[in-house]
Amino acid sequence: MKIRTGIGYDVHQFAEGRKCILGGVDIPHSVGLLGHSDADVLCHAIADSILGALGLPDIGYYFPPEDDSIEGISSLDILKKCKALADEKGADLQNVDSALVAEAPKILPHIAEMKANIANALALVPEDIGIKATTNETMGFVGRKEGIAAMATCCLVIH
């Protein structure tokens, strides 16, 4: 039996006319997040943490930005693919922890729904999912409200 950890990081910039989807929740905001997918920066960081723990290539290998067939894909489906890859390797995901860095929107009121969505995609329970939010205290690209950053870790057991 091996205990493995993984780390993931992602950034998406804000753009007019896009949705702001985080953890599968469509959060009301004046701008949304730009991407070839639904641009769910939180799910992307979590996906890369799982792929890393499995010793597999990153999210862009499985979901290439050049692939027109996945335009607008829900990032919860990306998490479901990561769960399937974990199953193939005989890996049991134990928990995920994550942090969002954003000046806005206010994320705290949406965290319970985000945890439920992510837990459902990964066949975990909400208590296995950590999500925190913090501002960047007005500094840098996040502080200028140009985008959102996310980081995630996970732990899994390979039998």
Ligand X SMILES: Nc1ccn([C@@H]2O[C@H](COP(=O)(O)O)[C@@H](O)[C@H]2O)c(=O)n1
Ligand Y SMILES: C[C@@]1(CO)OP(=O)(O)OP(=O)(O)OC[C@H]1O
CB of 63 to ligand Y, least distance (A): 4
Residue 144 binds ligand X, judged by CB under 6 A:
no
Residue closer to ligand Y, measured from CB, 57 or 109: 57
**Binding partner at 149 among ligand Y, ligand X, none, C-beta below 5 to 8 Å by kind:** none
154 binds ligand X (CB under 6 A): no
Burial of 94 (0-12, 13-18, 19+ CB in 10 A): middle
d(CA 23, CA 4): 23
Phi, psi for residue 5 in degrees, rounded to 5: -115, 160
| Chosen from ligand Y, ligand X, none, partner binding at 37 (C-beta under 5 to 8 Å by type) | ligand Y
d(CA 119, CA 158): 19
Which tokens is 70 given?
A: 């996945």
The option from ligand X, ligand Y, none interacting with 36 (CB < 5 to 8 A, set by class) reads ligand Y
Examine residue 48 and tell whether it contacts ligand Y (CB under 6 A): no
DSSP letters for 85-116:
HHHHTTEEEEEEEEEEE-SSS--GGGHHHHHH
Binding residues for a divalent metal cation: 10, 12, 44
Residues that bind ligand Y (CB under 6 A): 10, 35-37, 39, 44, 59-60, 63, 65, 70, 78
Binding residues: 10-12, 36-37, 44, 58-60, 134-137, 141, 144
